[in-house]
Amino acid sequence: MTERRTILSGSTFEERIGYARAVVDGDRVHVSGTTGFDYATMTISDDVVEQAAQCLRNIGDALAEAGCTFRDVVRVRYLLPDRADFEPCWPVLRECFGEVRPAATMFVCGLADPRMKIEIEVDARRGDAA
């Protein structure tokens, strides 16, 4: 039987909406769309690059709890309300994904809270769970 477990970050959104930060399903790890909120304080920066860095810290925490690192990421999706905000984030994104080179897509769309300037979702594969 395939292992399935949820990983919670403590975000109030998880409880209010009814989702998990990540789901481990066998050797697959699916990390939900993650925004730049600092979940300890439930605050968010006004700066898109700082939000991207916080998204990655939040994602990194979920991956670690699942037994993964950014090296295990096979797919990343970037969601932004303003396409002009994407390029300024490239250097911080490249720090995590530059050598990994996951498949990637950027969407321009509305996000749940007008303070959110970027949301990042990843899928990873755990090498030791196959």
Tokens for 86, please give them.
């994407």
Tell me the whole-structure pTM to 2 decimals.
0.93
pLDDT score of 12: 81
Domain that holds residue 16: 4-125
The predicted pLDDT at position 56 comes to 98
- What CATH number has the domain bearing residue 38? 3.30.1330.40
Does any domain span residue 130? no
The pLDDT, as a whole number, for residue 51 is 98
Residue 107: alpha-carbon gap to chain centroid: 14
Q: CA dist 87 to 30, 67, 81, 84, 91, Å?
A: 25, 30, 13, 7, 8
Task: Indicate the residue type of 65.
Answer: E
Return d(Cα 26, Cα 107) in angstroms, integer: 28
For residue 95, tell me if it sits in a domain: yes
What per-residue confidence (pLDDT) applies to 128? 56
* Mean pLDDT, the chain cut into blocks of 10 residues (130 residues total): 86 89 96 94 96 98 96 98 98 97 98 96 80
Q: How many domains does the chain have?
A: 1
